[in-house]
Each structure stands twice: as C-alpha cells, then as structure tokens.
Amino acid sequence: MFNLNTIPKELAFLNDLNGDKNDEYRSSQWLTTTFDSEIWKFDFGTTHQLVVDFQVKLDDGSFLTDHSNFALLDIFKCWICIQTHFDVTGTVIQSASTANATIRRVLSLIDYLLINSEYFQLSKFGLTNLTENDIIHLLTKLASSREITTSIYEWPAQLSDFLRNELASTETQILDEVIQKNPFIALDIPDEEDRMLSLTESEIVYSRAYLWNIGFYRPHFRDARGIETFRYGPNTKKLADKIYSDTLRGYTQKPQPYELLLEPTYRSTQECARAPVRHKSEDILAEREWHKYRKTLRTLGQLAEIGVNVPLFALSQTKSLYTQENFLLQTSKRFRTLPHNIVLYALRNAIEFALDYGDDLIKSAEAVIEASRKSNTSCVTFTNNNDVKDFLTPKIREMGVKFWHLSSNIKSEKTATYQFKKNTSPTNIFNRLRNNEGLYDLIRVLYGAIQISLGALMARRQGELIDLISGEVLDVEKSNLVFFNRKSGFGDMRSKEARPIPPVLVNLVEMLEQFHRRLVTIGVSTKKAQLFSYPDLNSGNPIMLNSPQYNASIDIFCDYFEMPLNENGERYYIRQHQLRRFFAMMFFWGGSFGGMDALRWFLGHTDIEHLYHYITESTPGYILQAAKANFGSELIRTHPDEAPKLADILERHFGTRDFSVLDSNELDEYIEELIIEGCVEIEPIFFEVPDGKAYRIAVKVLERTQGHFSE
C-alpha cells in the first residue's frame, strides 16, 4: 500500500490532502522554524527571506507571546499558515513569489489589528470584539489609498504625530543651533500641495533639524523617477522601527516625505520629462489588489474548521461586499496606448541603427574589453590611459567616437556630469550623446534598439524578454523565438513556448549572442548570460538584468533618436507593455498611413491575410481587443460617418455626437467593453484586387445583449 510518508520532498504538498487540519493549519512549507517559535523565519528561495517577530506589545502592556495571549497568538499564526493551504488556494500550488506576497498581505492585516489594539482591546477579547462595521471600516480603508503604508499603517499621520511629539520634548535652542550650523536645513520647503505630512513650515524645518541631530539622515537620496535627487533623505526604516515597534511588518522602509528631503540636486538619466505611461487615476487601491486583501481577510473564517474562536458572523456578513458599488476602487492602471506614428518612428530607427552599426559597435566594444582585461584594469581606467580610437572599426571611427564612456570622460574633464545643480540644463551631455562621442553609450543605444525591435514585433511580456538566455533564444531551425511564458505553468514552473520570429529579428538576436560568446572567450562572462544583459561599464561582464536596467537602455535609445514630445513637452519613453499593442495596431491602421508596407518588410510577409493570421497567433487576445478599441475610438473621433451605428451607441452613452471633445481613454475603454460583451465587432475583411489581396476594417454592431442598446 502506498504510504504518503514516503513521498519525495517536492511532492510533500500531497500530505495536505490526507492529514489532520489541526496540524495542517499550523504548518507551512515555507516556514523554516517551528510553529511554537516566537520568531518565525520563512524561506522563499531566491524570491526573498522573511522574519516575523511575534514579541510585540498589546494594549495592556503585555506581549503577544505571553501565556495570557496564547489564543490570540495561535489565531494569528494559523491565519498566516493557511494562506498556502489547499483549503484557501483551492488546490492551486502557489509559487514562491505568490506565497511570499500572500503571507505579507496577511501580516499587514494583522498589523492593522495590532496598531488598533487599544480600540479592539485585543489583550482582553482577542478578535471576538470585531463587528461587521469594523470589517467594513477596514475594507473601506484598504480601498482609500493605493499605498498600504497609508491605508493600513497611516504613515503620513503617524509620522506627523511622532515628529510633533518629539519636537515637544526637544529644546528649541538645540534645534536652532543645528539649523545655524547647517543652514540648508531651512531651505527648499515645497509647496503645500507637494507635501505628505500635516506639518506647518516651521514644524518641517524643526523636524529636519531634529532628524539631523539624531543621525536619521542618509546621503545620496534618489527618488523613484530617477530624475531629481537630494543630497540627504531621512532613513525611513529607522523611523518606522520607532513608530511601528509593536507590529510584525511595520518596520519596513516607508515612502519618503518630500518635505523632509534636503539639498536638491538635478540628476538627469533622461533628457526630458517622461510622458505618462499609465492612465492617471485617483489615489485609490486597484480593484484587483483590494479583492486579494478581501479574500485574505475572509480566510480568517476558515480557522473555524479547527475550532478557533474567530469573528465568523462579522466576516460572513461581508460576503456580498465585493463590487465597486460598495467601495470606491479603481481598475488596475492600464498602460497608455502610444500613437502609432511614434512606435513606427522608433521601430524604423531601431532596426536601421542595429543593422547599420550593430556589428561594428560590438567589435569595437569587444576590442576595448579584451585589451582592458589583458592590462588587468577596468575599461574606464584603460581608456583614460589609452586612446579608444585605436580599438575602433573604421565605421565607428567615422561616427565620431572619441571616448569609452561619455559621462566618465566628462567627469575627468571636471565639467558637469549627469549631476547638475537645480535648474541647470543637462542639454550638453545629450547633444554629445547624439554626436556619438561615447562607445559604451552607443552600445546601450544598440541594446535599446534591439529591445524595441524584438518587443514590438514579438509582442512578448517584458519579463519574458528579460528572461531570454543567450544561446537559447532561437530553435534549431532559427525560425522560432523560444521563451518561458510568465503567465502559465505549475507553481514556479513555467511552460516553454515557441513563436515564429521574422528573419530581421533573427539577425539581431544572433548579433547579441555572438557578442556574449566573445565575452565568454575574453573571460569576463559565463555561458548563461541574459540576452539583453549589457556589459558592465568597468569590467565588461554582463550585468544581472532586471526591469530598471532593461528600461534604461530604452530610455537612452529614446533620447538618442529624440523621440517626439507630446503637447506638454514630455517625451515618449517607451515601455514594453505599450509595444505589445503595436503589432495589432499597425495592422488596423496600416492602410491609412502607409505603415503596412513597413510592417510587411519587418516581418517578411507579403500576403496580407497571412500577415493578419500571424498577428492574431502571436498577440494575446486582450491586446487585440485594445487595438481594435483604439481603432474604433480614433475612427469615431475623426470620421464618425463611417461607423454610424457605433456613433449612435456612443451618443446615447456619452450624451454627445461630437466625439472629438471626449477623453480618448474613456472612449477606448467603453468601446473595448462593447467588444468584450459581443455588442460590437471590429474585424478585417479581405478581398482580391489585381495586385493580390487587400482589406478594409469593418465595424459591425450586433444585437443588444447587455443593456447597451437595441437594434
């Protein structure tokens, strides 16, 4: 007879199907310590490690780990453990990253209870005091902000209160002396609308002085945009340690209050302000993420299965609270659709640049990296002591290359670098970039060019492109791109898939693969480098690639080719999710602005119907829907008479037939909704012409199905 105790470790999850739930709900495959430990450690493999210290104080001053609070601690621990149990996951085996996120989510909910321990009287009543109104209040708070640090931890309010209390117990004379010695502390107070905290200007200055005096500032702060940086920023982890000492996860780093940052400088990693990539939305939680928190909260009721005393009635009464009608929620932020002429401009330049200069740029870079390796110095040091022109091919020399790395050379000239004083224009360095002075900079442009080419014509997810391994990208026939689908597979395992790849992209992929093989031969790389992992500036060793580095290569490309600006003077810095729509959009708009001939050349297809089949096979359904909706939106804004029935529907919905005044995003989304519900079809119709096949896009209005209209 088969014994479950003898199964391999990797199949240990099968024990959940035939075990004692009292034990199952007190264990987790990711937990490396015992259930009774006061400090838990989770191991999620390469994803992350997590430590949870249950030795926190409750409202009466006792510790959660005290014997008097045993029942409450047991509830919290079981609640954490069941997040990866089949009774909660529905037989789905979670990947390490999913389990990590799920467990952190329940820890945040427990922290909400701990932060409000006095209100709930946790030490006396445990969770039995929770009412339906308390649950609804928590769900409302979760919906109120996209940041859990605001909705759960109330970071702006808690930090404001903390600083006011500290100022009240600190002598003003001490703070005045700090300001006198460091006058920059009192400068650059942002406008009120840009502040996070509820402090007055005077309180802001004294709060800065207080934090400076206790050593809570750290140097070289750079914000998430990478455009503006500050010489000093408060250490929010230290602050959180003080403020949330009696929570399980509150000690983690928190968002920086803009008004507490000191000495702004200007660090330009891009030439222009960035055109918004996602649609603007209010500061409210995405609906999908709110549903995850709601589900996690309701799993608390699952503990009733083992006789744990949980507020089952209060939880059950919130079962119907799952629609946007109950809570103000935003849909997940969608990426903005790029104007088709922008993508076509980028793609033309990307392919032409890569084909014209790619091989020579790579040969020149190989020569520099190999020579610096032999001299046992970094590439930067080597080229500071040697003329880089000696290592360039004739074509690259003719481009105007003078240095290995433009920014490093500017530093050596003791002039401005990427870092400028506030309000000083960094135009010079970008003009020199476009003058082709830096070889390494041009290598980055090349990587960005190939990323845009592959990204636009293969319509894959960014993560899938990042995961491509040099030498394993193409199949044996070199006719398919081989990748691991990030949205399929079992647990951490992902399905390996192949999609047809046009010949021009095969050439570009092989160009980078040859580069990686040479780097291995030179001795600065291994055989398993990521395809888009560009060489390190100093060592030449391919970097460990992730999203910021991947996007930075595209940003450099966009500045090099001076991608157009929008009406607000913001540059279109392209992102992969936007490129995924290009494939289908180009087809729908191809006949109207001449892009189809270019697309045929890019893909190597001549038969227009064959081309459309290729697009539909390579492009996910929701991307096609977005492209069709965008076509319908632009058509109805510019030529409403070409789709009169669709115009009738939209007029009834929006109350106007002048569609040019409507927000294009709202129009896109409503037409996409009609397509999804089967009310509208936007499809090509192919027909024979003397020169072969042609097509036109037909907009068809169907019978009323879901309350939008009647025919």
Return left, alpha or beta for 534; rule: phi > 0 is left, psi -120 to 50 is alpha, else beta.
beta
Supply 83's token pair. Answer: 């997040």
Res. 489: pLDDT tops 80? no
**Residue 334 corresponds to which amino acid?**
R
Q: Which residues are within 8 A (CB) of 517 and not within 5 positions of it... i.e. 6 or more apart?
A: 470, 471
- Which range (65-69, 153-157, 661-665) has the least confidence? 661-665
Return the minimum-mean-pLDDT range out of 34-48, 124-138, 220-234, 645-659: 220-234
Q: How confident is the model at residue 266 (pLDDT cuts 50, 70, 90)?
A: very low
Tokens of 199: 């402090």
Q: Do the Cβ atoms of 539 and 454 come closer than 8 Å?
A: no
The bridge status of strand 228-234 relative to strand 480-484 is unpaired
pLDDT band at 488 (very low <50, low <70, confident <90, very high): very low
The one-character DSSP state at 617 is H
Token representation of residue 415: 């002039």
CA distance 190 to 203: 13
Q: What is the pLDDT of residue 73?
A: 96
Strand partners, 276: none
Contact in structure between 583 and 619 (CB atoms under 8 Å): yes
Q: The whole model's pTM is what?
A: 0.59
How far is Cα 292 from Cα 578, in angstroms, rounded to an integer?
A: 26
Strand partners, 50: 42
Q: Can you tell me the distance from the alpha carbon of 380 to that of 569, in angstroms, rounded to the nearest whole number?
A: 35
Instruction: Please give the Cα distance from 103 to 106 (Å, whole number).
Output: 5
pLDDT in tens, 388-433: 999 999 999 999 999 999 877 765 554 333 333 333 344 578 899 9
| CB crowding 314-334: b at 16 or more within 10 Å, else e | bbeebeeebeeeebebbeeee
For residue 217, give the 3-state DSSP assignment. strand
Q: Is the pLDDT of residue 59 over 60?
A: yes
Q: Does position 301 have pLDDT exceeding 80, yes or no?
A: yes
Report residue 123 as tokens.
């030490």
More confident residue, 25 or 588: 25
Look at residue 441 and tell me whether its pLDDT is greater than 60.
yes
pLDDT tens digits for range 63-109: 999 999 999 999 999 999 999 888 888 877 788 888 898 999 999 99
| Residues 6+ positions from 488 with CB-CB distance below 8 Å | 494, 495, 497
Give the dihedral of Cα atoms 458, 460, 463, 468; nearest 10 deg.
Answer: -40
- Closest among 459, 515, 453 to 483, alpha carbons compared: 459
Return the sign of the alpha-carbon dihedral for residues 214, 219, 224, 230.
positive
Rounded distance, CA 175 to CA 162, Å? 16
